[in-house]
Chains A and B, each alone.
Chain A
Amino acid sequence: MAALSTVSSRASFGQRISWGPLTAALGILLFLVAFLILPVAMVIYVAFTDPGSGQLTLANFMDFFRSALFRESFYNSFYVAAMSVVLATVFALPLAYITSRFNFRGAVLIQTLGFVPLIMPPFIGAVAMQLLFGANGSVNLLLRDWFGFTLPFMEGLNGVILVQSIHYFPFILINLSASLRNIDRSMEESAQMLGSHGMRLFRRIVLPLAMPGYIAGASLVFVKVFDDLGTPLLLNVNNMLAPQAYLRISSVGISDPMGYVISVILIVCSIFAMWVSISAMRGKDYSTTQKGGGGLSKRDLGALETAGCYLVVLALLAIVLAPHIGLLLLSIGTVWSFSVLPDGFTTEHYAVAVNKAWPFIKNTLLYAGIAALIDVLLGTAIAYLAARTTLIGRKWLDYIAMAALAVPGVVLGIGYLRLFYSVDIPFTGAPLATWWGIIVIALATRRLPYALRSCSAALQQVSPSLEEASENLGAPKLRTVRRIVLPLMAAGLVAGFVTSFATAAVELSATIMLVAQESDAPLAYGLYLFMQSAAGRGPGAALGVITVVIVGLATYFAQHLVEKARREQSASAGSH
């Protein structure tokens, strides 16, 4: 009897609140509230407040829609985002179709196509695209010489649409290819058996089954384009929402309500597009592959068909690589104006870029490095708390952190400016909003969702029984995490770090609001400065090439690590 009561009292002893996880959870919550929820709430609050009296009002929104410029900007942003989705679909659809239906030897090319655009932020290539496709760019010069007409590829909104859809079409390609891959062969075969084939079968069976994936990709493209600030700014297209928000805040000041109204509109549209994406997927998990089988049946191509496929793929490759090629030419060209190619070649721009831009590079490595470190620490903690503890509301940390995806960079930047301008850095008296550390925190908050997903995925691969085995052999919780969980998650964590780092390194929309002095500016901002003057274009392009190489290497490295970890995981799973 005595022994029994000892056992039961010990059981209740074990149920007491564990302070470690609770402290961690509260710390993370504090971070998210201070740097994500409050700034956004502040933006929304200001948008609905009368600047004079401080009363809640809808007057700011009335003013917004009364202004012809803002109405036009609103329409333009919508038009550009929608047309970018259309053009991106035109790029992605044939590629997805070719890979999923045919045994095509050039599949490697298509994979490259789905990857190359993403390693270069669109605003970097924008200037180069103007030199290739602008009114007096290479392509139009050739068209004029040969055929006597030109095409307005880069005129106004067209330029933004072209640059954005080249950059973002991989989102559609990846999602669409994945959902096509997930259609089981028997879906198609049963339709054939019932008398259907060719385009009709594609339209009635394959297309509807692939639709959720397409909508998910398309809505992502829509949001990204709708929110983007850098590309329109560099192409000097200012009558869109994000540039207007930036210009109002930077020229009129942080008390002007229009910037906040635009921010609210950007947030609402972001959330709406994400809702569309989520509801497109919900209840429509059409992935139908059976174990062992999978994918639509592929057929071999005839010689003519193969040639056709190569023609399509190479044409798209040329378009997709145009910003890269243009940037490279610009970075090594002497003078490039009114000519198909630069007049001469030089390495001088790289010397200038490295000399003058070294502070930018140094700042970027520092900012993106610290931000990525914060992301991985927070991401691991959030993932672990959500998956392995019993704290009440533990999933909410995950949800809040992921909500950062719906907050456009411009909005976060404006929120930080407004919220932290009145807070002083201790001992200096300068506003917190002008401190370089706030740029780091903005980057960390923006990229946290990426790192969090990497960390969650890595944690999911560590079975709880591995942890239990360690505890069973006498290791307390924290030591188990350090000796068992973290080493097993290592590859995923590094991948998360690199993803955060690479994307933070080219972030412009939030940082452009927060850079107080040039000596604090990161690479993306430096690039923007260089590209403002004709003389700065060469060095700017050289800087762009350097950035693309850094980001490309980092991304390749991350991909490689994840693949390697996956292979090891599946190898050890297979040996059981």
Chain B
Amino acid sequence: MLQAIETTGQLAASSGATPIRIRNLTLSFGTTKVLKGIDLDIGAGEFFAFLGPSGSGKSTLLRAIAGFGPRPSGEILLGERNVIGLQPWKRDVGMVFQSYALWPHMTVRQNVAYGLEERRRPAEEIRRRVREALELVGLDAYADRYPSQLSGGQQQRVALARTVVIEPKVLLLDEPLSNLDANLRVQMRQDLLALQRRLGITTIFVTHDQEEANTICDRIAVLSDGVVQQVGEPDHVYDQPANSFVARFLGTANILDGRVIARDGACRFVLDERSSIPLQGSHGEGEASFVLRPRGLEFADDGAGEIAGTISGSEFLGDTIRYFVEIGDRSVLVDEVHRRGGDRRSAGTNVMLRVVPGQGVVLAR
């Protein structure tokens, strides 16, 4: 597919990609509020992800942009135009469905030509653009097959071709990789990124898989409970989670409750009367949570640690060993790099833990 993209130049980046602005978008199914005042700005030509667990409202939000589902209140601006209340067939929004939704009674060519036929393009133009779109996804040899004769990955690419051939203002991808097997998924996400860069089209990618979102998207919005929890570049959101939900959803996190105290211009995070952690920078005093990845803690075998605990168990994860360490009545996870021949600490060992300098985030409670 990548090759195909390099060799075909006709389906060029549409000049002037469309930015999306969402303002105070609220949507209910009956009496259940599914989206609760969403505000988002997605830049022109950006590859953006909606990331969240199932039931978070991410698919509902995507469908609202495409014009499916109940009518929301608020604004969805594609460029300068508010599309709320506009029928799906008048929006010029391209969506690739999770199930691909290829029509089984039509060949690949007929599927891809459909949108152009609906736009009453001349036959010659339809033929040319269908060919270009199929070349773009590397499936020009399969034009006369039926969807049932294609593999999952090929069906996916037909669905993409069918959508981009109408040159939509924005491209919406609803869990596009979830029906593919693991190897194909890794390949396909790179292909998707290449296609998006080639076309320069504003793209929203819905997924519950943080790895997918992190690897290909410019920015992500983490959704939960119909609310945008945090927006930002993937590494920023991972390193600076705005709240404990985001911290937990993006990877494993130790979330320790305690309080921040400031003394002589330096701040400390107090876990209990025996343990406290020095903080960098200044923080407001009071109740807070300290969020720390398992890699952010290390064993202080020289005894110069801040927190005393007891190992209660461990898991071998391959490149790391994850230890469960009891600190008073709480438990934390500590990852230690594993190398061949390395010793495994045994359960029951008393240990000292130290926060790796610069790791951890303080969240006000």
Contacts and interface: CB of A to CB of B under 8 A. Distances in A.
A290 B163 CA distance: 20
Interface stretch (A80-88, A191-199, A371-379, A559-567): A191-199
A290 B179 CA distance: 12
Contact of A197 (B87, B94, B162): B87
Contact of A195 (B68, B105, B118): B118
B101 A189 contact: yes
Given A186-B99, A290-B99, A193 B93 contact: yes
A268 B274 CA distance: 93
B88 A193 contact: yes
Interface residues of B, number: 25
B101 A205 contact: no
A365 B253 CA distance: 73
B240 interface: no
A209 interface: yes
Contact of A209 (B87, B103, B114, B115): B103
B142 interface: no
A196 B95 contact: no
B105 A284 contact: yes
B118 A196 contact: yes
A49 interface: no
Interface in B87-112: 87-89, 91, 93-95, 97-99, 101, 103-105
Given A190-B95, A192-B88, A193-B89, A286 B118 contact: no
A211 B105 CA distance: 10
A191 B87 contact: no
- Interface size class on chain A is 20 to 34
A197 B88 CA distance: 9
Nearest to B63: A189
Residue among A184, A194, A208 with max Cβ neighbours from chain B (10 Å): A194
Contacts of A205: 103
A288 interface: yes
A193 B66 contact: yes
A193 B94 contact: yes
Contacts of B93: 193
Interface in B287-332: none
A284 B103 CA distance: 11
B174 to A, nearest CB: 9
Given A193-B66, A195-B118, A290 B87 contact: no
Nearest to B174: A186
Contacts of A200: 118
B119 interface: yes
Nearest to A189: B68
Contacts of A288: 99, 101, 104
Contact of A186 (B101, B115, B119): B101
Contacts of A189: 66, 68, 88, 95, 97, 101
Interface in A168-223: 184, 186-187, 189-197, 200, 204-205, 208-209, 211
Interface in A141-158: none
Given A191-B114, A192-B89, A195-B118, A286 B104 contact: yes
A286 B101 contact: no
B166 interface: yes
Contact of B95 (A193, A195, A197, A209): A193
Residue among B66, B87, B104 with max Cβ neighbours from chain A (10 Å): B104
A190 B105 CA distance: 14
Interface string A275-292: 000000001101010100
Interface string B147-171: 0100000000000001100100000
Contacts of B88: 189, 192-193, 197
A194 B115 contact: yes
A197 to B, nearest CB: 5
A290 B97 CA distance: 11
Given A208-B105, A286-B104, A288-B104, A194 B99 contact: no
Nearest to B94: A193
A189 B67 CA distance: 9
A184 B118 CA distance: 21
Contacts of B95: 189-190, 193
Nearest to B165: A194
Contacts of B162: 190, 194
Interface in B180-223: none
A283 B66 CA distance: 32
A184 B68 CA distance: 14
B207 to A, nearest CB: 17
Interface of A: 184, 186-187, 189-197, 200, 204-205, 208-209, 211, 283-284, 286, 288, 290, 297
26 contacts: A184-B101, A186-B98, A186-B101, A189-B88, A190-B95, A190-B97, A190-B162, A192-B88, A193-B66, A193-B88, A194-B115, A194-B162, A194-B163, A195-B115, A195-B118, A195-B119, A196-B114, A196-B118, A197-B87, A208-B103, A208-B105, A209-B105, A283-B148, A288-B99, A290-B98, A290-B99
Per CB-CB distance, the 4 closest pairs between chain A and chain B, nearest first, are A194-B115, A186-B101, A195-B118, A192-B88
Given A191-B114, A193-B66, 8 more contacts: A187-B101, A187-B103, A193-B89, A194-B89, A194-B166, A197-B88, A209-B105, A284-B104
Interface of B: 66-68, 87-89, 91, 93-95, 97-99, 101, 103-105, 114-115, 118-119, 148, 162-163, 166
